[in-house]
Amino acid sequence: MRLAYSLVDWQALAPGLHGREAWQDWAQQGTVIDPQEPMAKPQFLPMMTARRLSGGSRAAVECGLALLACQQVDAIVFTSRHGELERNLRILTMLADQQAMSPTDFAMSVHNSAVGSLTIAAKAPLVSTSIAAGIDSFQQGLIEVSALHQAGYEQVLLVDFDGIVPDYYLPWLSEQRINFPYAVALLLRAGDQLHCTGRAAAKERTPSPLPQSLRFLQQWLAASPTFSLPGERLTWHWERNYG
Please write the tens of the pLDDT for every residue from 76-111.
999 999 888 888 777 788 888 888 877 777 676 677
* pLDDT given at position 169: 84
pTM beyond 0.95: the answer is no
What percent of the chain lies above the pLDDT cut of 70? 94
Higher pLDDT, 103 or 184: 184
Exposed/middle/buried for residue 38 (C-beta within 10 Å: 0-12, 13-18, 19+): exposed
Lowest mean pLDDT among 7-11, 33-37, 231-235: 231-235
Residue pair 5/220 in contact by the 8 Å Cβ criterion = no
Residue 133: which H helix or E strand, with range? none
Residue pair 62/183 in contact by the 8 Å Cβ criterion = yes
